[in-house]
A and B are shown apart, each in its own frame.
Chain A
């Protein structure tokens, strides 16, 4: 006798199995239309391999398994495929899904099955393939593809095969009638499965003791085989997979695991027979035994029904009285579900169609409050705490539900059955389990989303960084190129200055050169122009000698022009010579001086100082211009004179202010910075500047010359006006005459002054010529003015950066020079017995006095 264990909990609902066992196994006629849902099993839906209009035979494959966990679907009779479309599914959700719809032709032709006499001759793979091809799925409840279940993983050694003939749920007798009618097939099927699983040590068919006929039949068939037939007391839900394993082996399947992990495989009797048929006769799963029961039916019995037959058709054949029925249930009263429509088909898992009357299965009583009686916990076959889970499910506390192992709930409904408050407990668990599954899916998706988002962010950041790096590289390259270019330029300039230094030096040199044109160059240029003018004059002379008539006149005119130009050039050269002789050291010193300045400036950054100086320069420039304008205005007697005068005054004030600032800044700045080095540098600058200033100390003379020129211009104009006035006999003649006289006086005075400074000045060489050709003066004036401005700027710049002492020294130097010159001139005058000897002597005396005074100041 087989040892039987017991399970915790469990209930004893009324069995109601007798009704359907009164009549023998029947058959259902062909319906007008058959529906084959593509998803009647656990796993991926099958893929339809027929199209609308296709002719199919019974047993022909109409939908192919897709993926490892899936099952083939076969037509259960011959006919035409009328549609592959969405139809309502036999599912508690009432959702629709893809179905193949076939209209039977009534001939019920079958494809030829390929039987197999000796399955032991086939390999394991071939056997599995036969079962898989037949589309066998678990026929007890969930519909898990059998081929997968019968092919456990390599590390799972199966030592027990259990065939489940328990059928514990009330009303259902489909397995009972199968065992009664085909026990031999069941035993053969059991042996087949045992063979497939490598002949496990124990092969047992478990049958509840409420089916004595079936037990006797199977025992008889199993005689002489290794198949054990065990019967055990009736109790719901003994037929649950885990419960039956526990009853027959005493082992518990660990939570969240499948039985194969403890070496057990369990199959339903219906599945076993179907597998046997598939291997032995090559017959796919196209029909099954279904219990049709309920007081709303005239006939209650078990029938062999072709899969795909609409439930409506089955019910109609059994005299279904719609008025009497409270509802229509697929499956048993404990775990089944109510159908909303009866046009859904019978599928592989449809083991019972229950059409109870209102009296038989009245609508549920309204749920009342939980009284914490604890009966549910006593009834639970999985040893859970249904009452606690109910509270947590109500408050949607999924963490606690998880902690209370809601996943181990088999949804048997024993708790609901015993609940005195009629609380639909199992419905709560089903809903909570569904929600938790949904949440897990969503969690997984949100984790994936987060990862994707983070990857994207990372990718964008990387792209940005790359862009930025590229941009920086480009910027750097551009800077380097710029530096290189600047370096080349600086080298070019420094090559001339014979002092290869950095940018700043080059820039400084450039500035120095801009403000002080090399006198040597200037002289060379002037000499060149004189030479070319001379050459032209000579040429013209030659031409005149050869030319005749009109040509001669033209040439004469040209000659005159050339001569004029020559004289101009010569005068310029002379003026330049004068200025350069006044500063004998200057020309030679120029380049080194500039270099010195540049070097010194490179050594110390005198930013504010520099700025001020630049400011001052521009101010001076403006002043010079303003004075020019003023002079012009005065000459013309314009009304703007006052305004211009005011402007010039303002400019002067500004210059004075700037100079003062500069003077304040000058000595402070260098000390603040690196003192030792900068003092030296400053000294170098001062020295250089002093030299530069010395060079431009001829400004007095130039100024005089300027004034003289402008005076001459004014004189000319005044003369013109006077002549005009005289000719017209105007009243203004007298006034004009006095003005003219005055101007002449002034001119004379200026000439005297100029002569005192520089007797060699060209203006004095030929004052008559200058007066006779006044047109020349304005032409020469701008150049002279520009030169003067240039020199004045240089001087101002030099002075600005000088300390008082330096300035004094500077002045002394220039005074000494002037004295020297004056003495020379005096000596010359004495030799030549010049009438101006007195004036010369006065100038010498004056210079001596000034020098003395300056020296006194210095000491």
Chain B
């Protein structure tokens, strides 16, 4: 055997390659079984990008079903709460051209909204509780209901079932906690608050002064 391999380098090379192929094939096969990915990772990735309002404006019962639909080839521009930024993010993920929002499913709103129950008028019918995909409405039959504003995603789904129309969608006010500077690229000339760069000219003046002194 050894003699054969020594005398026939072709056979020895072939044997070595076949042996390697078998070993690595075995390792790959084992890995494929052992580290099999359950479910479609794309669905999870798309789902994390969606805004999770569960509003159903896309035509699917929740964000995950829409993520599933996107993974199956549905259009990515059906999410008004997510808006263009979500579309861009999904387009980026899927490596496709980012379309504009499909207005058929609703318009993108800059203002975040939250449901508010006019508690004096609430009759305690629990219909909004059943409609809320977030379990963000608290109440019981014939008891006044109220919205847990922190959990409300502003999906609008509770407004329609209310028999006495006592639910309003009110815009969330900006507070100090969620205020942040505007992007200067979006700012108009009137709003200029920039201070720093403008200090340069006096600096030059002073340099001149210093030189003069």
Contacts and interface: CB of A to CB of B under 8 A. Distances in A.
Interface of A: 13-14, 16, 39, 89, 91-93, 95, 97, 170, 329, 333-338, 360-365, 367, 393-394, 396, 413, 416-417, 419, 422-424, 426-428, 430-435, 437-438, 441-442, 445-450, 452-453, 455-457
30 contacts: A13-B199, A14-B206, A89-B176, A91-B179, A97-B176, A333-B198, A334-B199, A335-B196, A338-B195, A361-B195, A363-B198, A364-B194, A396-B85, A396-B183, A419-B197, A431-B182, A433-B180, A442-B51, A446-B50, A446-B51, A447-B52, A448-B151, A449-B134, A450-B47, A450-B64, A452-B136, A452-B151, A453-B62, A455-B135, A457-B62
Contacts of A430: 180-181
Nearest to A367: B184
A424 B184 contact: yes
B126 interface: no
A364 B134 contact: no
A333 B52 CA distance: 42
Contacts of A423: 197
A354 B52 CA distance: 46
Contacts of A428: 183-185
Contact of B174 (A95, A449, A457): A95
Interface string B38-79: 000000000100111110000000111000000000000000
Nearest to A337: B193
B179 A431 contact: no
B197 A416 contact: yes
A422 B196 CA distance: 10
Contacts of B151: 448-449, 452
Contact of A337 (B53, B134, B135, B195): B195
B180 A437 contact: yes
Given A452-B151, A456-B133, A431 B184 contact: yes
B153 interface: yes
A424 B52 contact: no
Chain B CB count within 10 A is highest, among A394, A447, A453, A457, for A453
Contact of B192 (A329, A363, A453): A363
A263 B168 CA distance: 52
Nearest to B195: A333
B202 interface: yes
B57 to A, nearest CB: 15
A456 B201 contact: no
Chain A CB count within 10 A is highest, among B199, B201, B203, for B199
Given A417-B199, A422-B197, A446-B52, A431 B135 contact: no
Given A92-B193, A428-B184, A434-B180, A362 B201 contact: yes
B36 interface: no
A95 B179 contact: yes
Contacts of B54: 449, 453
Contact of B134 (A16, A416, A438, A452): A452
Contact of B197 (A396, A417, A434): A417
A613 to B, nearest CB: 55
A788 B184 CA distance: 109
A413 B134 contact: no
A424 B85 CA distance: 24
A334 B195 contact: yes
B162 to A, nearest CB: 19
Given A39-B176, A92-B181, A97-B176, A450 B199 contact: no
Query: Which 9 A-B residue pairs are closest in the complex by CB-CB distance?
Result: A434-B180, A413-B196, A446-B52, A430-B181, A431-B183, A449-B52, A14-B206, A427-B184, A93-B179
Interface string B163-185: 00000000000111011111111
Nearest to A16: B202
Chain B CB count within 10 A is highest, among A89, A329, A452, for A452
B8 interface: no
**B: interface residue count bin:** 35 or more
A438 B112 CA distance: 13
A431 B184 CA distance: 8
B200 interface: yes
Contacts of A450: 47, 52, 63-64
Nearest to B134: A452
Contact of A453 (B52, B180, B200): B52
A13 B195 CA distance: 13
Given A334-B199, A364-B198, A452-B151, 6 more contacts: A97-B176, A362-B198, A431-B182, A437-B180, A438-B178, A448-B151
A450 B199 CA distance: 49
Contact of B180 (A89, A334, A338, A438): A438
A91 B193 CA distance: 12
Contacts of A457: 62
A363 B201 CA distance: 11
Contacts of A95: 174-176, 179
A435 B180 contact: yes
A13 B201 CA distance: 10
Contacts of A361: 195, 198-199, 202
A789 to B, nearest CB: 63
Interface string B136-158: 10000000000000110100000
A13 B175 CA distance: 34
A365 B198 contact: yes
Nearest to B202: A14
Contacts of B182: 431
A450 to B, nearest CB: 5
Nearest to B193: A338
Given A447-B52, A453-B62, A393 B199 contact: no
Contacts of A360: 202
Contacts of A452: 134-136, 151
A320 to B, nearest CB: 18
A442 B51 CA distance: 8
Contacts of A455: 135
Contacts of A433: 180
Contacts of B192: 363-364
A337 B193 CA distance: 7
Contacts of B201: 362
A523 to B, nearest CB: 71
B111 to A, nearest CB: 14
Nearest to B53: A449
Chain B CB count within 10 A is highest, among A394, A422, A450, for A450
A73 to B, nearest CB: 16
B61 to A, nearest CB: 9
Given A95-B176, A447-B52, A453-B62, A170 B199 contact: yes
B197 A364 contact: yes
Nearest to B209: A14
Nearest to A340: B193
Nearest to A430: B181
Contacts of A16: 202
Contacts of B64: 450
A454 to B, nearest CB: 8
Contacts of B206: 14
Interface in B114-135: 133-135
A445 B112 CA distance: 13
B184 A13 contact: no
B199 A333 contact: yes
A362 B182 CA distance: 22
A435 B178 CA distance: 9
Contacts of A13: 199, 203
A329 B193 CA distance: 9
A413 B202 CA distance: 16
Contact of B135 (A338, A419, A456): A456
Nearest to A455: B135
A334 B196 contact: yes
B66 to A, nearest CB: 12
Contacts of A431: 180-184
A447 B134 CA distance: 12
A385 B158 CA distance: 48
B131 to A, nearest CB: 11
Interface string B1-15: 000000000000000
